[in-house]
Every structure is written in C-alpha cells, then in structure tokens.
Amino acid sequence: MIELLGLNHKTAPIEVREKFVFCEEDIKRFVPMLKDKGVLGAVIISTCNRTEIYVEFDVQGQGHPHANGHGATNGNGHPHAMGHPHANGHPHSLANDHGHPHTSSAFELFEETLFNYRKVDKSLSSHFYRKSHGEVVRHLFHVVSGLDSMALGEYQIVGQVKDAFSISEKNNLLSPVLNRLFLKSFEAGKKIRTNTNINKGAVSISYAAVDLASKKLDKLNEQPALLVGAGQTSELTLQNLITKGCNQFTIVNRTYDHAVEVAAKYNAKAEEMHKLEELLLVNNIVITSTASKKPLITKEMVIETMKKRNNKDIFFVDLSVPRNVAKDVAEVENVHVYDIDDLNNIIDDNVEKRRGEVYAAEEIIEELVLDFANWIHSRNLIPTFQSICKYFHGISKPEIEGYIKNQKEFDDPKATQVAEQITNKLIHAMINNVKTLTDNGRQQDKIQLVNQLFNLN
C-alpha cells in the first residue's frame, strides 16, 4: 500500500510551503513517528516548490488504518481512481491492487501526525493532495522527469529527489517497494530526457530570476550583484547573470570556504556571512538561496541600509523556502522584493511553447508505470512460488534417496542431478502456468485456488 501526501507550488503559496520544509534532521525525527503507526518506510522530498511524503503502509499489520473506510480523495473532497485517470478499470492499472477498500482514515492519521509535528492549523489540509497506488507511481515519475516542476523540464529536481532517497537509504527508512519505486523513477527521468526534448530550452528558476531582474533594472550588466548562499541554485544564477553580461559579483555564505570555492570559478569576491548588512550598501541586486529557517534580511536591517544608501533602489530576488528576506522588507521605500512565486509568469510563457514534449514524455511514463505495476503484482506470487518449490522438492528428494539406497551399483551424483533437473522443469512449467492463470499475480482469488490445490496455505 503506497501512498503520498504532498503540496507544491500549484496547491500552496510560499507562506504555506515554508511551514512544511524538511531537512535531514527533521526527516530522522518524523519518519519514526510514522513507523509507530504502521508505516514500513518513507521518503520525503522537500524543495523550494514542494514537500511530498511517500510511504508504504503495512497492509497486513494489526490495526491497519485502511479497513472499512471510504475512497481516497484528491484533496478537494472528490473520490479519485487509484490508476490512470483515463484507464476506466484498465487491467494493468494499480487500481484495486489489494482487493480491499481504500480509506481516507490513513491520510487522516498521516496528516494528524504531520500537523502535530509542525504545530500548524489543520485548516492548511486543503493545500495538500493525496494519492494512492498507481497515482503515486505516475506522480513521482512526473516529478523526477521535470513535468511537475514550476520550470518545465528542469534538471535540478533529479538531484533533489536523489538526495531525498539517499537520506532514507542512509537512515534505514526505506522499504523494498519504495526502494524499487524510486530507482524506477530515476530510470523514468533518464529515459524521458534521452528520448524527448523536454529539458532542451528549459527555463530554470535561476534563469527566471535573472530574467526578472533584467526586466526591472536598467543596464543590468552594470549592476553589482550579491549572492547569498553558495549552493547549486546560487551557482546557476551566477552563470545566468554572466550570460547577461554582468561581471561584478560577491558571494556570501555561512561556510566561508565554500563561498571562496565558488567565487574562484567566476572571478567573484567571497565574504563572511557576518558582513551581510555591510554588503547591502554596495550591491543593487541581492539574490538569496540558502537553507536558513529564519529570515537573514530583516526590515530593520534594510531600513538602516537604505539610509546609508541615500534611498537608492535595491532589488531582492528570494529563491529560498522558507524565505530569506522577511515579508515586511517590501514595505520599505525603494526596496523591491520578489519571491519564487513571483517568477510564475516568466516560466508559464516557456511551458506553453514546449507542450508537445509533455505528451511524448507521458507516453514513456505510462509504459514505465505498467512495468512497475507488473513488478508489484508479481510480488503477490512470491510466497506461492516458494511453496511450490518446497512442495516438489519435498516429493522428489525422499524418492530419489530411497531409490539410491536400494541400488547396489548406481551413479548416485548423476541420479540426483537428473532428479533435480526433472523437478526444476516441473517447477518452472508450474510457475509459468500460475503466472498466466493469475494474470501475473493480479487475481487474488486464483492465487488462493493454487495454494489450496497444493495445500500451500
């Protein structure tokens, strides 16, 4: 039973998203809380544009929250199908995989744990989407392929999802199904980027930030720029500023050595974080991208800075979630503040131009969703196959041993080898027939019939 509870830039504004950001320490504290409630494993993707919690529930566990409930909803109170929205009972969808009714009580338990952990009001529940079974698979493949990103086709999401997977793997938070699901998602992302042009001409968040700056400021290439943070987003922003002809850069970062390392690549200056307020005096563009949970730039700081700047305009682009620039900074005269949600218009224009690539990518995704569905269903047959092997070997082994025992002159190893070959051929034929009979594990009633025929229950 795989499920997803999430929100993103489409369902929640930045002031909501920033309440649900997870760092590694948060994940290490939160997932054990879910495990106490029947979760076998979890992966949490947390970026500036989304927080998504993927879990596998123990369907067989005591007190499982999925019994005797109602259908899952899409977050707006409407029931949704478990498989592809256009499948209408397609035999290869993951709908009705487990032969029992799904219930919203699992999500209620899920949300209650999350909202208690974050100490936020339950009214924020309306910003979350809830997905189950095949919908989870399809959604994750869209995410890793860049189809669900604010910037269609952007590649940075691949590294972010791999980081999330790595955190769960390193901290023993994965389950076998989630492990397979995420590895398959990386395969989906690679196949789509290889076989479509989804990432060619893609507009990244950092590109949009620089494009916005160029539209708002005269002679962008003459403006000194300060980058707060030295991560991948900051470096990509720096590269985009360079393409616009800019050449006056300063990088400030909590880890000074990292700032020095990045600055050296681009002939920029590096400074210590404690000099941030001082640096606001001499830079007209400030682009922030850090993991700080509290604003680094406050209204009081900017008021004092503007006095010393003689009220000269300053332009902030905050690419961080939670925000690095306090919301009330925008109230200061001649101070212009834009956050990541303000980049939507620039990015939307690019998406429409590349809509055809989305259709090509979705065709690939459907093939890989089917492939994953086949694997999921085939797992239902593992106990049966193990029992069939045990059953046939249980018959052949004592028979051949008894036969050898009664022969005075006999090639024992050869006889054992022949008996083993015959047994394995019978097992192989039986397994193939069981796969066909049960539609590769989809038909639970027929699995039970096979088990009864061989007294395998």
Same fold for the pair 2-201 and 205-350: no
Enumerate the domain spans of the chain: 2-201, 205-350, 379-453
Residue 410 has pLDDT above 70, yes or no: no
| Mean pLDDT score of the chain | 82
Fold (CATH) for 2-201 = Beta Polymerase; domain 2 (3.30.460)
Query: In the prediction, which pLDDT does 60 show?
Result: 56
Query: In the prediction, which pLDDT does 287 show?
Result: 96
Q: Collect all residues with Cβ–Cβ distance below 8 Å to 47 and sequence separation of at least 6.
A: 157, 160, 321
Q: Collect all residues with Cβ–Cβ distance below 8 Å to 269 and sequence separation of at least 6.
A: 249, 250, 251, 263
- Residue 324 corresponds to which tokens in the numbers above? 């690095």
Query: In the prediction, which pLDDT does 103 show?
Result: 46
Q: Which of 277, 272, 286, 273 is nearest to 224 (CA)?
A: 286
Residue 229 has pLDDT above 90, yes or no: yes
Query: In the prediction, which pLDDT does 72 show?
Result: 37
Residue 162 has pLDDT above 80, yes or no: yes
∠ CA(445), CA(449), CA(452), 5° rounding? 135
Query: In the prediction, which pLDDT does 277 show?
Result: 95
Q: Angle 232-243/256-265 helices, nearest 10 degrees?
A: 30
Q: Tally Cβ neighbours within 10 Å of residue 398.
A: 10
HSE on the CB side for 173, CA within 13 Å? 26
HSE on the CB side for 211, CA within 13 Å? 15
Q: Which of 272, 288, 278 is nearest to 323 (CA)?
A: 288
Share of the chain above pLDDT 70, in %: 72
Mean pLDDT for 98-123 is: 76
Q: Which tens digits make up the pLDDT trace of 428-453?
A: 666 666 666 655 555 566 656 666 56
Query: In the prediction, which pLDDT does 129 show?
Result: 95
Mean pLDDT for 38-53 is: 95
Query: In the prediction, which pLDDT does 96 show?
Result: 37
How far the first Cα of the chain sits from its last, in Å, is 23
Q: Which of 428, 407, 425 is nearest to 417 (CA)?
A: 425
Query: In the prediction, which pLDDT does 200 show?
Result: 76
Query: In the prediction, which pLDDT does 436 show?
Result: 65
Query: In the prediction, which pLDDT does 356 show?
Result: 77
Residue 457 has pLDDT above 60, yes or no: no
Query: In the prediction, which pLDDT does 157 show?
Result: 93
Query: In the prediction, which pLDDT does 67 show?
Result: 36
Q: Would you place residue 85 in the very low, low, confident or very high pLDDT band (cuts 50, 70, 90)?
A: very low
Residue 363 has pLDDT above 80, yes or no: yes
Residue 16 has pLDDT above 90, yes or no: yes
Q: Which pTM was predicted?
A: 0.76
Higher pLDDT, 427 or 151: 151
Query: In the prediction, which pLDDT does 151 show?
Result: 86
Mean pLDDT for 64-79 is: 36
Q: Which tens digits make up the pLDDT trace of 286-344?
A: 999 999 999 999 999 999 999 999 999 999 999 999 999 999 999 999 999 999 999 88
Q: 4 forms bridges with which residues in the sheet?
A: 54, 131
Mean pLDDT for 200-224 is: 86
Mean pLDDT for 214-233 is: 92
Fold (CATH) for 205-350 = Rossmann fold (3.40.50)
Mean pLDDT for 247-274 is: 95
Rounded to whole angstroms, the Cα distance separating 110 from 116 reads 10
